[in-house]
Amino acid sequence: MADRDDGVPFSWKDTDSIVIERVEAIAVYSNPKGDTVIRQSDSMGENDAVIIIPKSRLKELIQALQNELDN
């Protein structure tokens, strides 16, 4: 068990304290065609997960994500 900077005992096994689990880096950018690309880094650096959304469908994706957030 390690101490926090404030001197309070802390353990990563105390899952009640974890707010965000570890996630790989996520990038959002436009490709040369104007589509939106969402890419998540592969921890091994070999096969990033890639999703390409046509610009004409981006609002639908944003709305679906907002619905998930609201529910």
Does 59 map to a domain?
yes
Q: Residues 6 or more apart from 66 whose CB is under 8 A from it?
A: none
User: What is the reported pLDDT for 23?
Assistant: 87
Domain range for 29 is 23-71
- Per the CB < 8 A criterion, the answer to whether 27 and 42 are in contact is no
Does 17 map to a domain?
no
pLDDT category of residue 2 using cuts at 50, 70 and 90: low
3-state secondary structure of 6: coil
- Per the CB < 8 A criterion, the answer to whether 53 and 33 are in contact is no
User: What is the reported pLDDT for 26?
Assistant: 92
Domain count, the chain: 1
Q: What is the pLDDT of residues 23-68, one digit of tens each?
A: 899 999 999 999 999 999 987 777 899 999 999 999 999 999 999 9
Say how many Å lie between the first and final Cα of the chain, rounded: 37
User: What is the reported pLDDT for 50?
Assistant: 94
Does 13 map to a domain?
no
